[in-house]
A and B are shown apart, each in its own frame.
Chain A
């Protein structure tokens, strides 16, 4: 293989850039097959209530309405979904568990008619006690949100981390805990007893967040002749396919899920969301059904788990961590969705990339009567890191060390394990720390308050990935990947890898993604695509080149050993190079045919040890606080992308700035707030996201490329790590500036003002 890295390692423009900027890019909402009906969801107006009656007569008489689907219509289907715990009713069955839960689906000739029909559906409720937070849900006499026990589905990622429920658990007393995770090693109690210093924090609160993909959830489904075809805003079309196949008892081969460009995902579009609703609408009417949610409906579909985290750490006199103990409670809302896995990851990630000889961490994911929580960029890491890093900051203060020094003394070295038996850390965190320190300190001003944060995420998810490379007779290349382009730039990165491997011009490579009639990809999440889909693609390219070499041997009548693979084709002995297209054409004996290279990746070889890679978060901020108002001004943001190798450095920097900005949102502004059964701010006016003028005054997105990843050319994933420690860094800086310890984010102006003035956290 050529060592020339002309196509990888250089900044390239995103392939989707012009189409997206000019508006020609196709999204799910642009796809409306002829004869499509439009659906509107009738949603619960109660947080927790028995449904006593649904009257759809009036709705069915509304002009244009074709069908009104309710739970009882689905009794011949498997009417729930959920890849870990199939607890999620497609339509509320018997009772509603949160305000906004789908109760009925009105399907009509036009959206107007569907809305009129939805307004005419009468639902009567009998209120149950609503449990609006984990404290209420965990109370002794709390009613059950889920009376039924759901046997866990077989999710490999989850199974690899958490034991399946025992028969006793299945038969045992129910409570509102959706899932519990406990990990630990060493002798924690002895370490605390011997400690020079014990520092305790918490509960520290991480807020409910909305990922705010600009494109709300939408899908169009077409069920006919025993086949289901769905176009949807899904990050993981293959996972959605599994849920849909189970609902209708169809073989996987008869369900097709496509995901065109996504208008942002950030984890919020992982796993099944609106697809079952559109699908049952089509199943009930025999026509394609389109369902498009508005922003408020999207907020009530998925949010991030909020968390209350308590942490206790023990230190030696020199600042060495000797033990850490964590307790995490996640508010996971009415349905489990991916929260059990978010919890497992939060527990794995809370103690940080430090050498901690004694660990005890327990987490509980708790059902409440709020909107269901699931994946969100960072995946449990930000929740734990806020408490954990703030706690480390407090220890530094008490030990007389600065923020950098306490971490120098505790960060793991390359190759060291932070989770026993798992892959050692594939990053040089100490070198990253010095980069961060140089950047921030060389631009600090008199009113600077610098806060830093470090995280390590067991990333990549379960390594199952496939790719196909189809070499065309004209020398062009078609790459098929099941991964989804959701704005992160995978289309460009995959093209770079294929062009590099095959030695062909970048322009001759086309990428087709995220369609279940193409090759399988388990998920597009956990920052895995460049690393895992990239490895599968490399293998597909190797396979294709080998097939071409074999064909060339046959065509030229020479032993295969005489064929040399070169850029864009082969060389036979010392003769002139022959391009792929010519070999294909001569083998088929016509200007026709193609060669397909297949690449398969499983939990084996370089990806045998879990996790496939670590995604570290290395960030720092420099804040100034207005003493009059508590307003925080971010003077500097510095990030280190420890990515091994940046296939497209421009994309890596963009991802890190995006992740950091999203993290600043949760640190400074964003929080979904429940007041009674409803959110007070289920809209993007009152749910305050970062704006252009909120961007830090100085931004330094650094890349550390040390070739230490398992992915192509030593690459590792990026795109989430930088978000994870941002809130912790901000809170640490606020602690420095004010001398007071925040116990929650976002650090809104009022919260900072209260902190500065020793006022109670909540007050009139």
Chain B
């Protein structure tokens, strides 16, 4: 059961930033937050409901980047025309996150900040070379995904910071996202993308170890699935032991690379 707490509903970002802190947590969809609160892992005094702050729900594109507000839900991303046209892989990934309730309620910002190690988005955004923007009452900063994701349920975000947007450089690389999923969350996920001739190919491997890992190479011949698998430190659980998950990494990397080379996109 949830304990007692208050809820603030600011309409201006500046007001929200003044409220957010150690015991006053940002709240949007609640898909992760309420679970943690029910388990008493988080016991906030106050929740700052961000849903009335319009700018956090924006999706916009400039010549050089796609900017997605932290409060955009998985479902909205999956259905957004701008996202589909400029970063089709992200559309495909968000359409397959969790279940329909999570997709309808959960947001890109909440997903990243919770840092569930099996997050689909973190893996995909790492492959897409995304960065995340933070604001606080006193400042702002931007971090790359590797700078941001520090460990399971652990990010570089300070308590008084709010993740306000995710930036994906354009033109976004294109490719595939494959995952092995036996239970509610994936056991292994692989995003393989390329940006065109002369650009390095990128393979992100997520869900399997504590944080997603990025491997780059000049071209696909430089991606050695067996070596990648051997270098991964899988977290064993009921869906697979270390050796099985390493095997799955090799299988999925090989499949993903073959698919990209065969011209498959946005799957």
Chain A residues within 8 Å of B, Cβ to Cβ: 111-112, 115, 628-629, 669, 673, 680-681, 685-686, 688, 748-750, 753-754, 759, 763-764
Contacts and interface: CB of A to CB of B under 8 A. Distances in A.
B241 A764 contact: yes
B183 interface: yes
Contacts of B238: 673, 680-681, 686, 688
Contact of B180 (A629, A669, A685): A629
Given A685-B183, A686-B238, A764-B241, A111 B251 contact: no
Contacts of B248: 629
Contacts of A763: 241, 243
Interface of B: 1, 180, 182-184, 236, 238-244, 247-248, 251, 255
Contacts of A750: 239-241, 244
12 contacts: A115-B1, A629-B248, A673-B238, A680-B238, A686-B184, A686-B238, A749-B240, A750-B240, A759-B243, A763-B243, A764-B236, A764-B241
Contact of B242 (A112, A681, A764): A764
Contacts of B241: 750, 763-764
A395 to B, nearest CB: 32
A748 B1 CA distance: 33
Instruction: Sort A-B residue pairs by CB-CB distance and give the 4 closest, nearest first.
Output: A750-B244, A628-B251, A685-B184, A764-B242
**Taking each of B184, B238, B243, B255, which has the highest tally of chain A beta carbons within 10 Å of its own beta carbon?**
B238
B183 A688 contact: yes
Nearest to B188: A629
B1 A753 contact: no
Given A628-B255, A686-B238, A764-B236, 6 more contacts: A629-B248, A685-B183, A686-B183, A749-B182, A750-B239, A763-B243
A118 B3 CA distance: 14
B251 A112 contact: no
Main secondary structure of the interface of A (DSSP, over half): loop
Contacts of A686: 183-184, 238
Contacts of B243: 759, 763-764
A470 B247 CA distance: 67
A277 B169 CA distance: 61
Contacts of A115: 1
Contacts of B236: 764
A112 B2 CA distance: 9
Contacts of B242: 764
Nearest to B243: A764
Nearest to B248: A629
Contacts of A112: 1
Given A680-B238, A764-B241, A748 B182 contact: yes
Contacts of B1: 111-112, 115
Nearest to A750: B244
B189 to A, nearest CB: 14
A263 B192 CA distance: 45
A252 B128 CA distance: 70
A111 B182 CA distance: 36
Contact of A753 (B184, B239, B244): B244
Contacts of A673: 238
A542 to B, nearest CB: 52
A629 B182 CA distance: 11
B176 to A, nearest CB: 16
A686 B182 CA distance: 10
A749 B247 CA distance: 12
Contacts of A629: 180, 248, 251
B140 to A, nearest CB: 36
A115 B236 CA distance: 34
A511 B1 CA distance: 37
Contacts of A753: 244, 247
Contacts of A628: 251, 255
Nearest to A115: B1
A112 B1 CA distance: 8
A711 to B, nearest CB: 41
A688 B182 contact: yes
A110 B76 CA distance: 39
A691 B242 CA distance: 26
Contacts of B182: 669, 688, 748-749
Nearest to A749: B182
A111 B248 CA distance: 46
Contacts of A764: 236, 241-243
A683 to B, nearest CB: 10
A688 B180 CA distance: 15
Nearest to A114: B1
B147 to A, nearest CB: 30
A294 B255 CA distance: 42
Nearest to A627: B251
Contacts of A111: 1
**Taking each of A111, A112, A680, A749, which has the highest tally of chain B beta carbons within 10 Å of its own beta carbon?**
A749
Nearest to B185: A685
A628 B248 CA distance: 8
A65 to B, nearest CB: 16
A669 B180 CA distance: 15
Nearest to B247: A753
A58 B192 CA distance: 58
A763 B247 CA distance: 13
Nearest to B245: A750
B187 to A, nearest CB: 9
A669 B183 CA distance: 9
A669 B248 CA distance: 18
**Taking each of B240, B244, B247, which has the highest tally of chain A beta carbons within 10 Å of its own beta carbon?**
B244
A749 B239 CA distance: 8
Contacts of B184: 685-686
A413 B134 CA distance: 76
B41 to A, nearest CB: 14
Nearest to B234: A764
A615 B10 CA distance: 63
B259 to A, nearest CB: 14
Contacts of B247: 753
